[in-house]
Amino acid sequence: MARVALVTGGMGGLGEAICIKMAALGYQVVTTYSPGNTKAQDWLASMESQGYKFKAYPCDVSDYDSAVACINKIAEEIGPVDVLVNNAGITRDMTFKKMDKVNWDAVMKTNLDSVFNMTKPVCDGMLERGWGRIINISSVNGQKGAFGQTNYSAAKAGMHGFTKALALEVARKGVTVNTISPGYIGTKMVMAIPSEVLESKIIPQIPMGRLGKPEEVAGLVAYLASDEAAFLTGANIAINGGQHMH
C-alpha cells in the first residue's frame, strides 16, 4: 500500500511542487482547499492532464471541526494519513501600528492554529502504527523577523515551538516532527511583491543572488518524509540561499 501524504494548501506554488514531488515518489497525495475555492476542480483537472491523480478535500484549516471532518473523510475514502505537511498559510502584512485584531487573528488561525487542528486528528494513528512524518512549513521570517509581519513572524516562530515539543513526545514511536523554514521562494505569494522591491531590497540580502525554487523545498520535504530521515526530529531546517544563518 502506498503511504498517504496530506499537503494542506497544496494548490499554491509551494504546495503544488510538494504534491508533485511526493506523487513522483509513489505516495498517494491528498490536498486540502478552502471551502470557497471555486478553482479547485480546475486545478485537479490540470494536474490530471499532467498525469497526477491527486485527491482534494474542502477544509477550513483554521477551524478544528472542519479539520477533524476532513481527516475522517480521508481515512474512510483513502486511508490513514502517514505524512502530514502543514503548508497552508496566508499573509496580512502591515506595520504593528496599523495592525488590527482582525488581521492578527486571521494569520494566527490560518498559520498556527491550523497546525494543531490538522496534527491532532492524525497523530494518534501514526503512534499506533509506529510510523509517521509531520512536516511544518515555517519561514525565514519566523527565524529573523520581518518589518510589517508581527503576525506572520509570530505564527511561523510558534510552529517551530510546536515542532520541538511534539517531537519529544512522539520520538520513541517512530514518528518525527520537523520544521522547514524557506526563504524567499519564487511563488505567487512572493511574486506579488513589487519587482522593484524584490530587486532592490530582497534579492541583495540573499547571498546566492536569486529566489529559491519551489522544487528545491519540495525535495527537502521528500527527504524528511523518507525512511532515511528516521533519526532526524525536532529540527528547523533553513533553506534560504544563505540569507539567514542560524
Residue positions annotated with a catalytic role: 152
Distance CA 10, CA 201 (A): 29
Distance CA 128, CA 65 (A): 22
Distance CA 148, CA 155 (A): 13
DSSP 185-226: BSSHHHHTS-HHHIIIIIGGGSTTSS-B-HHHHHHHHHHHHS
Alpha-carbon torsion angle 5, 9, 13, 18, nearest 10: -10
- Where do we find the cell 480546475? 42
Residues facing 166 on adjacent strands: none
> Other CB atoms closer than 10 Å to residue 128's CB: what's the count?
11
Alpha-carbon torsion angle 39, 44, 47, 51, nearest 10: -160
Indicate the SS3 state at residue 172: helix
